[in-house]
Structure 1
C-alpha cells in the first residue's frame, strides 16, 4: 500500500512537471512570436508626406524615380507628395552617410528608399572584407534613417548584365564579368533578410530585370535593357519603377465601368474609380459622362518598351469598360468627340481596356504630365544631383587625409581646397534648383486634374452593296 501511494504521487509530480514545461515552452514560443516584425506591406501616404530616393548613379539618372513620380502624379492627383532624389554617381553606402544630414534628413522623409550596392561590391568576385564594409555602412545608414523617424525601404542592387559587358568595348576582368551579377544577388539576399526581420520595406529590383532579360533572350540572344552592363536604360528603369510600386502594393486600377440594362430595359451601371452620369441607351448605342478620380500611368516614348515588357498598363493602370445588351455588330467609341477605337459588341461585353490607347484624351493628358515631369527631372532635379558630385569627392579626400595624421599628401590637400571653394555655392545651387523644381511641379498639378469626359458609343452602319 505504501509503495502504491508513493508511485501515484510520483506520477502526479511528473505529470505536473511535464505540464509546467509544456506551458513554459508555449509561453516562450508565444513571446518569441510576439517579437517578430512584419515587413512593410504598403505605403501609407497623405498630402505633405516626403519620400527620399537614396542611391548611386542609377538613382542619379533620375529615371525610375521619375516614373514612380509619374505614377503618383496621375494616380493621386489630389494628394501632393514631396519627392527628393538623393542619388549621386559612384556612391557607396559610406558616401550616403557622409551627405545624409543635408541630402536626406533635411527633407524630413516618411520613407527612404535605399538603392546601394552596385559600387560597394567593387566590380569583382565576392570578397568577404568588401562585403563586411558594405554590411557595416548599411547598418549605420539604416540606423540613421530610423533615427530621423523615417521608414527604410531596402532595395536590392540591380542587375549586372554580363552579356552586355562582354558585347561592350570596355575591357573588364573576365572573372568579374562572370561572377559580379551573383555577388549582387548575395548582397540583395542579405538586404531581404534585414528587411524581413526588422519590419522594413523591401523591393526586389534584381529579379524582374534578370527574369525579363532571360525571357527576351529566348527570341533575341543579344537583347539587353542595360547596354553598359550597369545602368538600366529607360525601359529597364520602367521595370525598376514597376518593381518598386508593385512590391509596395499601391492601387493598381484606374477605373472599372460596367454598363447594362435591367429586365425592363432601364440602363444601369456600376463604376469604380470615378463618377458616372447621364447614362443613356439609344437605338444605335450608348452615351454617358465619366469623371475619373485619376489618370492612367504612362511613360515617355523612350521608355515604352519597359511598359510593354512589364504589361504596365494592364497590371498597374487598368481602365476597364464593359457594356452589355448591345445588338450584334461593331461600334465606334468616341470620347469628347474624338474616335478612339472600334469594337465588336462581344468584345465590349467582355470588357475593353483603354489605359494604353494613345487616342484617348486621358492618355494624352497623362502624357503631358509625364513630359513635364521629364523636363523637371532633366532640368532642376538633375542639376541639384550634379552639385553633390563635388561634395562626394570632397568627403572622400577629407576622409583619406584625416587618416594620414600629420603627414598629409600635399596634392590631396590642394584638391581638397579647390573642392571646398567649389562647394561654397552648393547651397545656393540646391535652393535655386528646388525653387525651379517646385515651379514645374505646380504646373504638373494644374494639368494632372481629371475632367469630365463624354463617351459616345455608336453602331457602325454597314454599307449596302451596289
Structure 2
C-alpha cells in the first residue's frame, strides 16, 4: 500500500516536471518569436548622395507630391544633396512597375523606394477577390525585387477615391463602383499596413488624411473636394500626401526656435535652436540681432497653398518660432534685412510668434524661389522623362498579350507592337537629355537654397497723438 502511494507520487511529480518543461519550452519559443518580430521603419536615415525613388502610377506621374517632398529636403537640409527619381507612369498597375523595374528603379541604386500603387489595380469596381489576388501576387514580387537591390520599401496606401466628386462629374460611372471603390482601396491599404508591420518596412497612410480632411471640410461646404476628377488629387491634395509621407517618416519638423530675454543683471541672453544667433542688443525701444539659420521654411507654390492651410503645414512641419521677453508694454515693428514683416504686441512676442508662413520675410521669399525652380524642374525635364515611359508601358502590355497567344497572334497587335518598338528606339536618349536638364536646374536650386545671415530689428511703434 505504502509502495503504491510512493509510486503514485513519483508519477505525479514526473508529470509535473514534464508540464513545467513543456511550459518553459513554449515560453522560450514565444520569446524567440517575439524577438524575431521586426519594427516598422520609424524614420529616414539619409546622407548626401543617397537616392530615393518614388514608384507609382499617374498620381506619382503628376510630379506634385514628389515635388513638394523634394521642396522639403531642399529647404530643410540645404547642405545635404540627395538624388530624387520619379518613377510614376499614368495607368500603371503593380505588374507594370515590375516590367520597367530594372531601368526605372534599380538603375538609380535607391536607398528607399516609396510605392504608391493600387488605384488602377482594383480596376474601379466593387471588391473582386481574383483582382485582389493579382495585385497581392504582383506587389509581393515587387517588394521582393526592391529588397533584392538592397533598398528599403516604403509602402503607401492607395489614395482616396472621392465618390462625391465622381457623382458631381459628367463622366458616366457604374453606381456600385462609385459607392464601393473607396472601400476597396481601404482594404488594399490595410493589407499593405500589415505587410509593412510584419516585415519591418516603411509605411505611409495616404488614405486617411485625404478622407479625414475632406469629411471635415464638408461640414461647412458639402461640395468641397481636393480630388476634382475623383482619382487624381489636385495640388492641395498632393500637399496633404507630401505631408503624410514626411510626417509618417518622422523627419525634422522645426526650422528654428529663438528665445530672447534679459537676465537678473539686465544683460540680454538668448537660447536658440536651428542656427546661430549673434550681435544681440537690447535698446530703449527694442531688440536687434543677427540670425544665421541652418535651413529655410518649407513652402509650396501658390496653387498648392490650400493644402498647406488644411494640414497646418507651417506650424506642424516648418515652425520658425521667435519669443522676446521683458519688453515694455506696446506694439513693436519687426523688420528683417530692412524689410518690415509685421507688428506684434509685447504680450504676443513674450508668448512667441511664428514666421514660417509670413510671405514678407526674406527667408520665405528665398524658399519660394526654391519651390518655383523645382516646379520648373518637375514640369519640364522630370515630366518629359516620365512621359517617355508611357510608350514602354503599352509595349510591355501588348507583348505580354501576344506571348500568351502563342502561334495565333493578333496581327493588328503585332503591327502596333512594332510601331511602339520603333518609338522606343530613342527613349534612352530622351532619358539622358532629360536628366541633364534636370541636374542643371537642381544645380541652380542648390545655389538659391543656402541660408544667409539675416539682421532682425524690433522697434517699438510710436503712436502719434491726434490733434
Q: What TM-score does the superposition give when structure 1 sets the normalisation length?
A: 0.98
User: CA–CA distance in 2 between the matches of 1:218 and 1:188?
Assistant: 26
User: CA–CA distance in 1 between the matches of 2:277 and 2:18?
Assistant: 67
Deviations 1:267-292 (Å, cap 9, x if unpaired)? 00000000000001000000000000
User: CA–CA distance in 2 between the matches of 1:227 and 1:316?
Assistant: 26
3-state SS, counterpart of residue 465 of structure 1: coil
Within 5 Å, give how 1:178-257 maps onto structure 2: 178-257=179-258
Alpha-carbon shift at residue 2 of structure 1 (Å):
3.2
User: CA–CA distance in 1 between the matches of 2:260 and 2:380?
Assistant: 45
Alpha-carbon shift at residue 29 of structure 1 (Å):
1.0
Q: Which residue pairs with 2:8 in the alignment?
A: 8
User: CA–CA distance in 1 between the matches of 2:68 and 2:12?
Assistant: 69
3-state SS, counterpart of residue 289 of structure 1: strand
Deviations 1:381-405 (Å, cap 9, x if unpaired)? 0000000000000000000000000
Alpha-carbon shift at residue 462 of structure 1 (Å):
1.5
Within 5 Å, give how 1:67-466 maps onto structure 2: 67-466=68-467
User: CA–CA distance in 1 between the matches of 2:172 and 2:16?
Assistant: 73
Alpha-carbon shift at residue 465 of structure 1 (Å):
3.0
User: CA–CA distance in 1 between the matches of 2:40 and 2:307?
Assistant: 28
User: CA–CA distance in 2 between the matches of 1:26 and 1:57?
Assistant: 49
Deviations 1:62-113 (Å, cap 9, x if unpaired)? 0000000000000000000000000000000000000000000000000000
3-state SS, counterpart of residue 17 of structure 1: helix
3-state SS, counterpart of residue 364 of structure 2: helix
3-state SS, counterpart of residue 46 of structure 2: coil
Alpha-carbon shift at residue 34 of structure 1 (Å):
1.2
Deviations 1:183-212 (Å, cap 9, x if unpaired)? 000000000000000000000000000000
3-state SS, counterpart of residue 456 of structure 2: strand
Unaligned runs of 5+ in 2: none
User: CA–CA distance in 1 between the matches of 2:460 and 2:261?
Assistant: 16
Change in 2 beyond 3 A, CA 1:7/1:442: same
User: CA–CA distance in 2 between the matches of 1:403 and 1:28?
Assistant: 47
Q: CA RMSD in A?
A: 1.3
Alpha-carbon shift at residue 21 of structure 1 (Å):
3.1
3-state SS, counterpart of residue 333 of structure 2: strand
3-state SS, counterpart of residue 446 of structure 1: helix
3-state SS, counterpart of residue 438 of structure 2: helix
Deviations 1:333-374 (Å, cap 9, x if unpaired)? 000000000000000000000000000000000000000000
3-state SS, counterpart of residue 59 of structure 1: helix
Deviations 1:154-189 (Å, cap 9, x if unpaired)? 000000000000000000000000000000000000
3-state SS, counterpart of residue 240 of structure 2: helix
User: CA–CA distance in 2 between the matches of 1:126 and 1:2?
Assistant: 72
Alpha-carbon shift at residue 9 of structure 1 (Å):
4.7
3-state SS, counterpart of residue 236 of structure 1: helix
Alpha-carbon shift at residue 7 of structure 1 (Å):
6.2
3-state SS, counterpart of residue 219 of structure 1: coil
Alpha-carbon shift at residue 6 of structure 1 (Å):
1.4
User: CA–CA distance in 2 between the matches of 1:16 and 1:266?
Assistant: 76
Alpha-carbon shift at residue 409 of structure 1 (Å):
0.4
User: CA–CA distance in 2 between the matches of 1:10 and 1:257?
Assistant: 76
Alpha-carbon shift at residue 3 of structure 1 (Å):
4.6
Alpha-carbon shift at residue 16 of structure 1 (Å):
5.1
Unaligned runs of 5+ in 1: none
Alpha-carbon shift at residue 26 of structure 1 (Å):
1.6
User: CA–CA distance in 1 between the matches of 2:283 and 2:218?
Assistant: 51
Q: Which residue pairs with 2:18 in the alignment?
A: 18
3-state SS, counterpart of residue 228 of structure 1: coil
Alpha-carbon shift at residue 22 of structure 1 (Å):
5.9
Deviations 1:104-145 (Å, cap 9, x if unpaired)? 000000000000000000000000000000000000000000
Change in 2 beyond 3 A, CA 1:354/1:12: same
